[in-house]
Structure 1
């Protein structure tokens, strides 16, 4: 069975402005795939290809670049993925994590460990991904590498081994390596044993090797590059295996064609191959493989490589290519904000729908919803910067001038008890040729929506069961108060249908035959009746915040936090600066951001990240419905009858 060169899928993660993209450029220069170092400030980097990224100086979309690391032990192909650091674009990071083998976490030697650093590190540790730290910007005034390493130990709770390996490395490594500890005690310890233990523990993710330097000057980058194959796990894929891959990014080409960024895990994919995508065969029309700093046209792509694939018309992010690989699922919290976008020119409503649908292909978490009653479009967001980016993208790529309504907080609903409802075929008040019974029960926190059968699968055609299941998920996008319903178990308790009937001359008689449409139309009424009987609670998102401000305003800050419904922790003093963390409702974060400059003479620094959901305080908010309201039977049936 032929084997290929080992490959390492490497992610570059960091808080915004820590220097991820600059480090990527320096690694490409050191690896010999570019001759001139690009600059974020001048907009000339390899991975920030969008004009908007170049203007803003931030990464918005993940980007892939490939290079080879040559070592005495052999060559390793590195597929490097540069990811956004701004929290508004955390969804781009999420889509990349599932294809990574290891991570370089960039931390500024000046700012140290920041809020997004902690969010990212907790996530990669939960996934078991090994991490190398690069402490960047050591050429800047105020850089303090020992202090930053101490922050990593304290704030991330991770054992750190400064590189190159020194005496303190033995203390760290022996804490998790009994053989090394024995060698240290009996005096047989050697440098080779220490290096071997470091490689094993780094690849296992139990220690962090930490390099320091500057992506701008290049200091420390060559050492980091050379260490990647040894300290992070690579894979040795085989071609002689069934095709297996996963799509982690989708974009549109210049002619509007869909391009799927695909990691090939096993086997190979060739131009003109036909592969199943979402239940239909798709023909691969073109392939570009990332190789030595560029995406190069190829007739095929083999295991271990990342490619851009054309021809997969219906493909979506997360789809399997060939044999379905194991999925690690979602890792970050969903967006907690929502807004309405409308065209300035009402005549462009149709064009806006098309454009937003394409943007939703690239970022499914914006959760595009159309209000069929008022013909408006709703988007879910992580923050105001994301809204600005969407507005600019619509203007520059689609020539659409749009306006946004005020951003609101996106709550969720959970059932608080059990509820059930059933309507039988040919019995009032059921106007549909279907029997549907549903029971709803509270699910475990974080479990999402679970649909299960309490009736025999063979009791009616599978397509009817599928219609009920799909409609359950669609209906739960809006609960009793209009918010998405989660952590719920829906069980189908009754089913029934009328078999297909035909007249003597062979024509189909709809008045005597059940269809999937009967089940789709009846299910919302049954489900919402059961949910209303169970009752729901509305929960709002809560953020964890970290706040730093001058000590002399300490007495004023807690009063403002209390007014905003925040729950602060215990303040800690760091010289003339006070640090305070705690929790605050997501809906009040913007008010805190506005109040902070005046409260702290412009010296306050606020960082925040999603923490959890908790029941809303005060009156329960209702969300404007975008459907025809199955809670109002008369209104709903009038709409269905007009539609039918």
Structure 2
């Protein structure tokens, strides 16, 4: 066989591989659900899983006895508190699509975990309580999505309860979030008078009818809003209002542009009730139709195409004790390019080591199945004892490095003490395992009496979760010693310690993070401002690698 024949065979194989990767990637949809707490995010997640055939019976996040646990809220503290604390990966199929759904915590204290998840997705569904409108945490999460240009789909939830008018809700989206909204469906009434929705793009009416079990009957699709059945269900006043609103929408919100959605400029809006399973399937179908598959990711060397022959991905989450019997450690990776297959050798870029990925899984909450292969857009988890951290790049190309995932500057600080000397080994082991998840950040203070690491968190609930898990998973009691600092900043460049100490305001302290980068802790925003005014040439960062 001559060299030219070998070249043709190689080129043909590469072309076939590229086509396979592109084809598989195009049917992936990787998205997160975001919301303010109690807007119905986890309930919506459960109902989406029902349509994918991943669940036979949806759970409820309400903390009541004898209720089925939700697939996404699997930790004991989540079940007891009735809130999502840790982001969860749920992978399932719907039609020809492979969906990677990431359920995120809504509480602001876990915003850093949510931020990392948003680095790993290609779109989000934003859930809004129609009775409350846009709330504070929704606004913060939206801003993160805007900065990344993530396409946003909006679900106005709880229409079966008294709510704001649909025009008020649309107006809030456009004025508060400064985001063009296109109502794909329009509600027919609300609360006890909620009768269904009108699909503006398909010109169909879907009717809602309550039944004793709490969910609605099979949808009735009517092609004309003027049908007598629709008129009979609505009062004359409500019917006239709906017809006028739809005419107004067709005039002011006419012309749906998918490209505007994919560029984060327009949000398609859906209305319904997740608890009663109404409007959820319309949302899912609309999301799949108007969203897109994964897009190329940016590495330090430039954009990496999906069909790159080298497999690559980045770590966005580490979770310990998903299987308490084995004290295992699951590392979650977003696949960015190439094809993954089980037992492949990859390069751990930060450590500069070759590692075999053997214990790989596709994940569904706490449950897992062996993952034999994966493509761009997929989320895979693998059990390992190797030192993986959030932000690490793995690849078959040792020169490929993805940009670092930014850290949040913590606002709460504390030392964690072991309450009983007899449980020291268990305490040390538990702290080591939980810190590997990046639940909280670790700092080391200069000129401080304690040798303990200083823990930093975005909110105090992170400390509470850590203490709960130490007791629940490792059987050890702990004592939290809160510290008075409220603001932390990284130094852009190392400075002389002596000069720094002289210029520190009263109550401030010097330290380093886990990677040895110098930080200053301030007791207040005023103290930070005072230091900045006295030291204008000293650049402070609210995230490593990012300017103030």
- Please state how far the C-alpha of 1:93 moved relative to its aligned partner: 0.4
Contact 1:26 1:218 in 2 (8 A): yes
* CA deviations over 1:539-582 (Å, ceiling 9, x no partner): 7349xxxxxxxxxxxxxxxxxxxxxxxxxxxxxxxxxxxxxxxx
| Contact preservation (8 Å) 1:138, 1:144 | no
Matches of residues 617-628 of structure 1 in structure 2 within 5 Å? none
Q: For the Cα contact (< 8 Å) 1:356–1:368, is it kept in 2?
A: no
1:364 to 1:38, Cα distance in 2 relative to 1, 3 A: closer
Q: Does 1:59 align with 2:84?
A: yes
Q: What is residue 120 of structure 2 aligned with on the other side?
A: 99
Distance in 1 of aligned mates of 2:280 and 2:389: 36
Aligned equivalents of 1:116 and 1:366: distance in 2? 22
> Which residue number in structure 2 is paired with residue 221 of structure 1?
280
Once the two structures are superposed, residues 431-470 of structure 1 have per-residue CA deviations (whole angstroms, 9 ceiling, x without a partner) of xxxxxxxxxxxxxxxxx5445xxxxxxxxxxxxxxxxx8x
Q: CA deviation at 1:46?
A: 0.6
Superposed CA deviations along residues 184-240 of structure 1, whole A, max 9, x for unmatched, are xxxxxxxxxx34x2x221111111111111110011111100011222221388667
Alignment of 1:68-87 (within 5 A): 68-70=93-95, 75-87=96-108
* Structure 1 residue 247, shift from structure 2 partner: 1.1
Structure number with larger C-alpha Rg: 1
Which one of the candidate residues 124, 144, 161 is aligned to 2:182? 161
Equivalent position to 1:120, from 137, 141, 149:
141
Aligned to 1:242: 310
Work out whether 1:19 is the aligned partner of 2:40: yes
Structure 1 residues 311 and 391, CA gap change in structure 2 (3 angstroms): closer
The match for 2:330 among 259, 267, 271 is 259
Distance 2:496 2:68 in 1: 47
What is residue 37 of structure 1 aligned with on the other side? 58
1:461-510 deviation per Cα after TM superposition (whole angstroms, max 9, x unaligned): xxxxxxxx8x999x999995414589xxxxxxxxxxxxxxxxxxxxxxxx
How many angstroms does 1:157 deviate by? 1.6
Q: How does 1:335-346 map to 2 (within 5 A)?
A: 335-346=410-421
2:162 to 108, 133, 141: 141
Alpha-carbon distance in 1 for matches of 2:530, 2:432: 32
* Structure 1, gaps ≥5 residues long: 175-193, 414-447, 452-468, 487-523, 543-584, 586-612, 618-644
Q: How far did residue 246 of structure 1 move?
A: 1.0
Tell me the CA shift for residue 344 of structure 1: 1.1
> Does the residue aligned with 1:98 lie in a helix, a strand or coil?
helix
Q: CA RMSD in A?
A: 3.7
For residues 107 and 377 of structure 1, what CA distance do their matches in structure 2 show?
40
| 2:320–2:328 contact (8 Å) kept in structure 1 | yes
- Is 1:47 paired with 2:31? no
What does 1:161-560 align with in structure 2 at a 5 Å threshold? 161-164=182-185, 165=200, 166-169=246-249, 194-195=255-256, 197=257, 199-235=258-294, 241-253=309-321, 254=324, 255-277=326-348, 278-290=351-363, 295-311=368-384, 313-322=386-395, 323=397, 324=400, 326-327=402-403, 329-330=405-406, 333-363=408-438, 365-367=440-442, 369=444, 373-406=449-482, 408-412=484-488, 448-451=490-493, 480=504, 481-483=508-510, 540-541=524-525
Number of aligned positions between the proteins: 427
Query: 1:147 deviation in Å?
Result: 2.5
Scaled by the length of structure 1, the TM-score of the pair is 0.60
SS in 2 for 1:234: coil
Distance 1:388 1:230, change over 3 A: same
* Structure 1 residues 293 and 360: alpha-carbon distance in aligned structure 2, compared to 1, 3 A threshold: closer
Deviates more, 1:227-236 or 1:12-21: 227-236
